Structure formats: structure tokens, C-alpha cells
Amino acid sequence: DKALIGHRNGQEYNIMDDMAVLEFFAANSSKPSAEFVNAYLSNENFHGQDLTKVAGLSDAVTAYLEDIRTLGMRKAIEKNF
């Protein structure tokens, strides 16, 4: 079946979502963090509204994504929460 393949702790798993969501992430996830976050938050099909209009949200999500990409998920969570 069509699915993105994720990796966690050395294990592969299928990322199951509807095709539009899978295609969005396949097309956008390799973009620089700010560009990816803007594309994601502005996608009204996902959220019903353009979330880039929420003050400070894009900057916060971009900073968290940068930490995830550079530190890994566990260390980013430890750093930020």
C-alpha cells in the first residue's frame, strides 16, 4: 500500500494518512524549516484557516522544528519542555 516510511529507534513503520496529507509532507518536508512551517500553517485544508495569521505561531513552530532537526526529537523535547 502507499505510505510514507518512518523510522523510530531503528524500526521502520508506515505513516498512514490520507493521500493529500502524505503528498504534502513528501513534497515539503525537505524544505528549510521556515518555508516548511509557512506551507504547513497556511494550508487551510488542514486547519480550516490560515494559521500563519496567529501572532508568533510561525516563529515558535519554526524554532521548535529547527531544534527537532538539529537535536533530534528527544533532546528537543528535553530542551523546550
Query: What integer pLDDT is reported at residue 16 of this predicted model?
Result: 81
Across the strands, what pairs with 11? 8
- Helical ranges in 1-81 per DSSP H: 19-28, 33-41, 44-47, 57-71, 73-80
Domain ranges in the chain? 1-29, 31-81
In 3D, which of 64, 19, 21, 14 has the Cα closest to residue 39? 21
Query: What integer pLDDT is reported at residue 76 of this predicted model?
Result: 97
Residue 41, exposed/middle/buried by CB under 10 A (0-12, 13-18, 19+)? Answer: buried
37-71 pLDDT per residue, tens: 999 999 999 999 999 999 999 999 999 999 999 99
Cβ pair 21, 28 in contact under 8 A: no
